[in-house]
Each structure stands twice: as C-alpha cells, then as structure tokens.
Chain A
C-alpha cells in the first residue's frame, strides 16, 4: 500500500481520503498482530534472561555467603534471626514449616493424583454387615483438580519466598560488611504504613482476586481439557479425566461429527458481534443526540427530562426487563392495546416462538436495549459536551457553519476522541451482556438446526447465554462451557488489541497528574 505524506493526503478528494483511511486501518491490523506476537517473543526472551540472572545470583550468593547466609538456603530465616532481624526470620521459618507440613500431609497426594485425576471411581462393593452390595466412593476428581491447582500456586509462592529469603540474606550480608545498621522488626512494621503502604493496601484485595478470580479461571481453563460434565461429576457417578484438545476439535472442526458445534458456534458468534455492534452504536449516537437536545439553549426543564430518562438506571434491571418482556408477550399489554385500538388484527409474536420468525426478536432486543442504554450515554455525553469550549461553536458560526457541520466537525470528533476507549469497553461488555438477553428472551426462539448441540441454542442467544445454558441441567457439559468461555476471551482479546493499537487516544496516564 502506498503511504502518503501529510501534504499529499490533504490534496486528496474526500472519497479518496476516506478510502485511504479505511485501507490504512485494515493494513495496520496485521502490523498490530505482528507487534503483539513480537511482544510475546520479547517477553519470553526477557523472561529467559531474568531466570538465568536469578540462578547466577543465587549461585554467587551461596559462594560468597558466610555461614548465616548459607544455612538460610536450607532453613529459611535462620540468617535473619542470627543477624538480629527476628521478626522477618520467624516469618520465613514459619512459612517453611507450614509448607513442609502441608506438602507431607495432603499437598503431595493432590500433586501425585493430578496427572490421572483420580484412579478409583465410585463402585459397588460387598458389605458384610449389610450382606449386600453398596456403593463405595473413591477419589474425587473435582477436588484433585482444584487442590492440585491450589498446591501448584502454593509451591510457586514457596519458591518466590525462598528466593526472597536468599536475596534478603545477600543484602544483609553486604550491609554487615559495610557496617550499616539493619532494619529492625519495628522498622519493618513502620514501613508498612509508610514507604510500603501499598503492600498493606493491596494485600486483601489481591488475595480475594487470587482466590476468587484467578484460581477459578485457571481451573476452568483446565476443565476445557477434561471430560467433566453432568455424567462425569468426578465423585458421585464417575471420575473425569484429561481429554486433551478433543473438546476444542469438537467445537471448531468443520468435518466429521463436530459439524453441528462449529456451525452453531459460527452462527452464535456472528449474532453476538452484530448485537454488540448495534447495541453499542445505537446507544452511543442516540444517547449523544438526546444529550444535545436537552442541552440546547432555550429548552426548559432540563433536569426533569434527565430524571425521567435516568429511571431505567435507577430501577433494577431484572424488574424493568422482565416486565417489558411480559408487556410484549403475545397476551401482553402492547398486543392488547394494539388490538383494542384496531391497529392490528391478530397478536404480533414479538418474541417469535416459531423458528421462521428470528428477525423480529433480534430487532426487539436491540430496540429495548436502547431504552435501557440511552440514559447512560446521555449522562456521559452531557458531561463531555459541556467541556467543549463554547467559543469553538461561536467562531464556527461566524464562519458560516450550520448545525450539521458543527456536529460533524466539532462535536463528533471531540466525543469520539475522548470516548474511544469507552466505546471499546462498551463493545466488549455488550458481547457479554447476559442480563438483557436472558431476561428479555432467554435466548429464544429455539434454533432447531442447532438442536443436537448442547444447551438448546436460540436465535437471540449470545455466546455468554449459550455458555450459561450449557452449564445448567443434568446433562451439563462443563467442558464445552469452558471451551466457549476461552473462545470468548480470545475474541475479546483480539478485538481489544487491534482497536487499542489503532486508536488515536491512547494517552499517557501521567499526563493527567
């Protein structure tokens, strides 16, 4: 593709400018992806040198260390205690003791079972007292996977702490040699509310995120590689085991028996993207439009209009959306009123219980989402529009610009520049907008062509609601849900990366301070 300089670009006609921008946008996508992989490669390279450096450092620390340092390699914290840093030393020692105790009592078992996910399943065994066969439960695959992952986390934490302990000893030894005073336990505690206050503040939130977000995500990624489902729940009916890439093949391959899944996935993904596009941009432009109308000079009762619209934010969605979905039901108020007024002869099937009527429900969810979404955008746009300097409009009017020109040349560019990142996040969160779809249609009408795929997919189902449907019921295919979850992540990540790399307003966060 030919690149123009700024001057050449200005000479182009309007259409040429537009095509040039469009082409250069798409041309930059491969570069952005390339940069992404280059970033990963650089990261790996950096990681390699860091790890090498760490090992070299550990080696020299041991070689040059005195007995206090060397003994700490085996018994953590010994060196610190010997040097008078009792609090630190005791904490290290305690951690090591807990770790060893845990690994011997239970941790070792979980790790050793991880490759097989359990050997003895539930089975019938002869019971002499009852004189009959009873079910005896064996290993628990679910717990093995869960605690296996936790144990691996714990081992990683131990390695990190051990390394910290070695580093501490090295520094302390150098301090001793130079004759400087070491930090006492009281100093350590004081620094936790001062220099290292961030550690105190972050400890609890990060612990919560680690246990309730990171660990479950790691677990669910692993589940995608097993056959964990309603009939292999790991304890009560059967063990589950590793399945490799089989589930991904079922979901994505275009040949053989997996055909239904890949076709369904394609269909649902397409609708998800269409939905996210319309849900984001209809709200964006209509919300901006409403904000401009209310802000216009000479319009009275500004506050009252805003308050009325904001009602949809104030009232919990499950009430408003569920109620609206019943209003548009075949026997609901809307149909009733239209029939009473004689505008229609028979009730309109807004939610399309029959398969041939998939378009209307899709349009309906987008339209009702406008009802929910406009108020947010109105609030946001109001705040931003007020920040546009009034003299810009003033001078453009003197130059003879009309309202439309003012909008396209001043308002819109300003809005787009400021809210670029917001548009991206709102696009991705619309892709995962469970509430609107589930409460309005529940994903219906049912897509008959996809009936042999798990979870009875419907025409308004997003990937996220499909995922939810798969995880409910007795035949829940948790592994398929995990596969969908991972694919959603991939789609969101790719979109975010590409958009972030071509967005003009990636700003330096320090600029604001």
Chain B
C-alpha cells in the first residue's frame, strides 16, 4: 500500500520534472528568438568593415565609426525633434486624457452616454483618412516641413481625448463613496479631483505618461506626411526609414543599426523601470474593454 503511494508520488514528481523541463526548453528557445534581432542590431552597429546588409552576425572589425557618423548626420536634429515632441505630448496628453476619463467616470450628465457612443463610432473611422486634410490645414498654418514639430504636437494632442478608455476603467474602480464623503465635508468637485482622486490614481497617471511619451517615437506615417522631405522637420522614424530605402541602404545600413540602438536604449530603459504600471494599465484596459 505504502509502496504504491510512493510510486505514484514519484511518478507525479517525474512527470512534473519532465513537463517543467519541456517548458524551460520552450522558454529558452523563445528567449533566443526574441533576443536574436536585438543582439544582431547591437552587433551590427559596431561593424566597420562594410556598411552593407551582410550574411554573418559577429562583425570582423569593431569600432565606433557608425556612432560617429550619426553625430555628423542629421540624426541629431531628428532625435531632438522627437524628444521635444514626446516630452510635450506626454505632459499635455496626460492632462487631457485624465480630464476626459475622470469626467466620464464620475459625472452623470445628460449627454454622457451619447458622447461616449459618438466617440466609439468616431473611433471606427480609420485615422489615416483624416491625414490628407490635417496635412493641408497644417500647411495653411505654416506648420509643415521645417516647422513640422509644432504641427505634429498639435495634431497628437488634439485628438488624444479619444483614448480615455483605459484610465476611465481605472477611475471606475476607485469607490465613489470616497468622493461622496469629501463632498459631504464641503469639498467642491475640483477639490475632490485634486486632493483625493489624483493621489490615488498614480499608477494610471504614470501609465498614461509612459504611453504618451512612447507614442511619438514610433509615429511614422503622419510625421512623414508633415515633414515631406525636409530633413530638419523629420522625426527619427521618418529619417531612419529613408536610410533603408533601396538607394540608401548600402551606405546607411549599419548607421541605421547604431541609430536604432541610440533610440531604443532610453525608451526601453524608461519602459523597463515603469513596467509595473504599464502592466497594470494594459491588464485593466483589457478587462474593462
């Protein structure tokens, strides 16, 4: 009797070890696949024997040449442009999104449901559709080409109220009784927001800032429209995309890698530091729909 129990538990143990081993193997393979492109890009950025797309991973000659070349190219301008855009957008977009989501979560006014439904419908139109006209409007305002930065900032923040879903979901989870208690004590609505809700909403504020900051680094389509071939108005995505067009790629391939590393490092570090808040936001957003 005892023997069979022992045997069974041993069998269980063995099968658990086996399944864990399989999982470890899968995870290791996945990690290799996930890391491989990033390792390649770092290694290639130090390759100096040729600037072409080559068929081996480890460079034959190492050096900082590509990074030095970046320094003398327009990359500096693009980087600064993108950084300024990201910084300003992160601040203003966060304020707008928080206003919007807090209001829709806490106030019950006449047009509330209609407004939310209306924005849901608006969201079903492809955003790309509006680019043509926004471009023409910005052009009339003189905010294209070398002045693209203010134009891009304006467009990014103007529609940011549409992305209120995730933080509204978060505000919905803060008990309303907190507000009511403060209101009974004589606080105005504005005081409730400043003194009670905002301190509690720190995770979602950080999530909103993080996503707002990361967005402009990746925007490519509209930025390309607005800068329209003028190097001084480009962001990193547009400028570096040009480096990989067929007539440039053979001279700029390794520079693209170096530029990619320079762009990715600060964004990735920031993301990794604030990962906890990002996870909270993403999960909450998916659960609340």
Contacts and interface: CB of A to CB of B under 8 A. Distances in A.
Interface of A: 142, 146, 193-195, 197-198, 200-202, 204-206, 208-209, 211-214, 216-217, 219-220, 223, 290, 293-294, 296, 298-299, 305, 307-320, 322-324, 326-327, 329, 331-333, 335-337, 339-340, 371, 376, 379-380, 382-384, 418-422, 424-425, 428, 432, 434-435, 438-439, 463-464, 467-468, 471, 478, 481-482, 485, 488-489, 492-493, 496, 509, 512-513
Contacts of A307: 272, 275
Contacts of A219: 133
B69 interface: no
B9 interface: no
Interface string B126-151: 11111111101100000000000000
Interface stretch (B59-67, B158-166, B198-206): B158-166
A420 B213 CA distance: 29
Interface string B248-271: 010001001100100110011001
Contact of B161 (A206, A317, A340, A425): A206
B132 A332 contact: no
A319 B280 CA distance: 26
A379 B282 contact: yes
B133 to A, nearest CB: 5
A217 B129 contact: yes
A492 B126 CA distance: 10
A197 B34 contact: no
Contact of B287 (A142, A318, A329, A383): A383
A319 B264 contact: yes
Contacts, number: 256
Contacts of B124: 428, 489, 492-493, 496
Contacts of B193: 197
A210 B53 CA distance: 47
A30 to B, nearest CB: 22
A393 to B, nearest CB: 15
A193 B188 contact: yes
B289 to A, nearest CB: 3
A380 B286 contact: yes
Nearest to A495: B124
B283 interface: yes
A219 to B, nearest CB: 5
B188 A194 contact: yes
Contacts of A496: 124
A384 B128 contact: no
Q: How many B residues touch the partner, as a band?
A: 35 or more
B1 interface: no
A308 B31 CA distance: 6
Contact of A327 (B40, B122, B240): B40
Contact of B275 (A209, A310, A315, A488): A310
A311 B268 contact: yes
A380 B284 CA distance: 8
Contact of A314 (B23, B268, B284): B268
B119 A209 contact: yes
Nearest to A505: B289
Contacts of B24: 299
B100 A320 contact: no
Contacts of A468: 128, 221
29 contacts: A146-B136, A208-B161, A209-B158, A216-B129, A217-B130, A223-B132, A296-B23, A311-B34, A314-B271, A317-B218, A319-B41, A323-B257, A332-B53, A332-B55, A333-B55, A333-B56, A339-B55, A383-B279, A383-B280, A384-B283, A421-B289, A422-B287, A432-B128, A439-B220, A464-B128, A467-B129, A481-B132, A488-B125, A513-B176
Nearest to A228: B132
Contact of B107 (A198, A296, A317, A493): A198
Given A197-B107, A332-B53, A335-B55, A213 B176 contact: no
A350 to B, nearest CB: 14
A509 B278 CA distance: 23
Given A290-B30, A314-B267, 15 more contacts: A198-B107, A202-B99, A217-B129, A293-B27, A299-B20, A309-B31, A314-B268, A315-B264, A316-B214, A319-B240, A319-B264, A380-B283, A422-B285, A438-B220, A488-B126
A293 B26 contact: yes
B288 to A, nearest CB: 8
B38 interface: yes
A485 B129 contact: yes
A307 B31 CA distance: 10
A212 B134 contact: yes
B46 interface: no
B2 interface: no
Contact of A371 (B34, B100, B119, B271): B34
A493 to B, nearest CB: 5
A157 B28 CA distance: 61
Contact of A337 (B55, B154, B244, B271): B55
A32 to B, nearest CB: 17
B20 A296 contact: yes
Given A213-B162, A314-B271, A509 B172 contact: yes
B90 interface: no
Contacts of B189: 193-195, 197-198
B121 A493 contact: yes
B287 to A, nearest CB: 6
B19 to A, nearest CB: 8
B172 A512 contact: yes
B133 A146 contact: yes
A425 B136 CA distance: 30
Contacts of A214: 122
B190 interface: yes
B172 A467 contact: no
A312 B128 CA distance: 24
A425 B172 CA distance: 20
B75 interface: no
B286 A422 contact: yes
Contacts of A435: 218, 220
Contacts of B264: 314-316, 319
A315 B283 contact: no
B122 to A, nearest CB: 6
A312 B267 CA distance: 12
Contacts of A471: 131-132
Contact of A202 (B56, B103, B128): B103
